[in-house]
């Protein structure tokens, strides 16, 4: 199966490698074109623009940072929509809001193409291991045709119905994750400031009812102040912002998420945007120190 792949950041690169490893022919594009080189070493071809990739491939996948990147790659000059036509499929796996997906979807269906939004749950390691959870919505025909690709990138693919439902599900999940990361950071700081061992806290958490892979995966690095990015904090804050907007639309009060969003904003202002989202721990440490 020949596919196009647009966006070779932390996630896109790992997802693309899995496609190549599993026998897919892949044509890649990235805004910073030099990032294509490593994929080429593993057998990928390069497309000079998103339009060139679309022209060549029946199916094209995108994994981009945020709504403005998703819209630019679709609508700008040399973008995806220039080459969209009957029978072609576009699958946007970026985390965006439902409105962004709908804007892209409407134009694609007018041109006779197929569109799926398919954001993923799971970070750099699950992407490398082909263990993502795929949250797709849109054209069911395209979903069925994309299953061979989804099966090498993920461990489970959900089809959630109409466009927007994949984006909304992803935002709900990440809203919970961002709030949990804040509570976890506060717990780590509280343990330390009250004279407890943070490592012992991690051991206790792992054995109890609130044990979670996220605490196990992030905790040891956090207490070493290691925030090498797997999920960049700026993207987590974008997800909190978009989830809060979804809350506004639906009149859902979310004070916990709103407070968590403020912490992520603070972390960005302190220069942690490109660090892992667990770096929110640094803001809790800094501002939580009142003695
Ligand atoms: N990292 C993670 O753990 C997870 C991330 N996600 C989501 O997946 C998406 C990608 O995340 P991730 O790979 O971590 O992010 P990165 O920041 O590593 O990569 C972002 C990608 O988007 C491209 N990009 C940004 N702006 C533009 C633009 N205006 N035009 C064209 N391309 C653009 C970048 O290109 P360039 O290289 O030129 O900068 C890069 O390829 C995000 O929506 C994120 O929220 C979802 C699940 C997990
Ligand atoms: O979006 C991030 C993730 O870990 O999922």
Residues 14 and 114 in one domain: yes
Domain assignment of residue 238, given as a range: 168-289
Ligand 1 atom nearest the C-alpha of 8 is: 41
Q: How far is CA 136 from CA 108, 174, 262, in A?
A: 16, 16, 29
Mean of all residue pLDDT scores within the chain: 97
DSSP secondary structure string for all residues of 153-184: HEEEEEE-SSTTHHHHHHHHHHHHHHHHHHHH
Q: What is the pLDDT of residues 43-86, one digit of tens each?
A: 999 999 999 999 999 999 999 999 999 999 999 999 999 999 99
Domain containing 45 — which CATH number? Answer: 3.40.50.720
pLDDT (tens digit per residue) in 94-117: 999 999 999 999 999 999 999 999
- Last residue in a domain, options 143, 162, 181: 162
Domain end, chosen from 131, 162, 193, is at 162
Is pTM beyond 0.95? Reply is yes
CATH assignment at residue 179: 1.10.1040.10
User: How many structural domains comprise the chain?
Assistant: 2
Atom of ligand 1 nearest to the CA of 11: 13
Residue-wise pLDDT for 123-155, tens only, equals: 999 999 999 999 999 999 999 999 999 999 999
Same domain, 14 and 155: yes
Q: Tell me which residues are annotated as active site.
A: 170
Find out whether 166 and 136 touch, Cβ atoms under 8 Å.
Answer: yes
Q: Please write the tens of the pLDDT for every residue from 218-264.
A: 999 999 999 999 999 999 999 999 999 999 999 999 999 999 999 99
- Please say which residue of 162, 180, 212 terminates a domain: 162
Q: How far apart are CA 200 and CA 197, in angstroms?
A: 5
Select from 11, 37, 61, 238 the residue to mutate for testing ligand 1; criterion: most ligand atoms less than 8 Å from CB. Answer: 11
Pair of tokens at residue 188: 């780590």
Residues 270 and 200 grouped into a single domain: yes
């Amino acid at each position: 199966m020949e596919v196009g792949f647009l966006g070779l950041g932390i996630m896109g690169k790992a997802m693309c490698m899995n496609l190549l490893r599993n026998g897919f022919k892949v044509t890649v594009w990235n805004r910073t074109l030099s990032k294509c080189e490593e994929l080429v070493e593993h057998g990928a071809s390069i497309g000079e623009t998103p339009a060139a990739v679309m022209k060549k491939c029946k199916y094209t996948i995108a994994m981009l940072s945020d709504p403005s990147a998703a819209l630019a790659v679709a609508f700008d000059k040399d973008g995806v929509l220039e080459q969209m036509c009957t029978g072609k499929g576009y699958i946007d796996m970026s985390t965006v809001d439902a409105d962004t997906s709908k804007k892209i979807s409407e134009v694609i269906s007018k041109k006779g193409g197929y569109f799926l939004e398919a954001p993923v749950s799971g970070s750099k390691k699950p992407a490398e291991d082909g263990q993502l959870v795929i949250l797709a919505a849109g054209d069911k025909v395209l979903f069925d045709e994309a299953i061979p690709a989804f099966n090498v990138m993920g461990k489970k693919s959900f089809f959630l119905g109409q466009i927007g439902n994949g984006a909304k599900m992803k935002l709900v999940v990440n809203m919970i994750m961002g709030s949990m990361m804040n509570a976890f950071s506060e717990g780590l700081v509280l343990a330390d400031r009250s004279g407890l061992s943070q490592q012992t806290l991690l051991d206790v958490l792992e054995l109890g009812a609130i044990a979670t892979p996220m605490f196990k995966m992030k905790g040891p690095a956090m207490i070493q102040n290691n925030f090498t990015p797997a999920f960049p904090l700026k993207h987590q804050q974008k997800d909190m912002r978009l989830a809060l907007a979804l809350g506004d639309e639906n009149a859902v009060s979310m004070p916990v998420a709103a407070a968590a969003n403020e912490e992520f904003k603070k972390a960005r202002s302190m220069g942690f945007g490109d660090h892992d989202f667990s770096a929110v721990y640094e803001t809790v440490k800094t501002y939580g120190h009142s003695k």
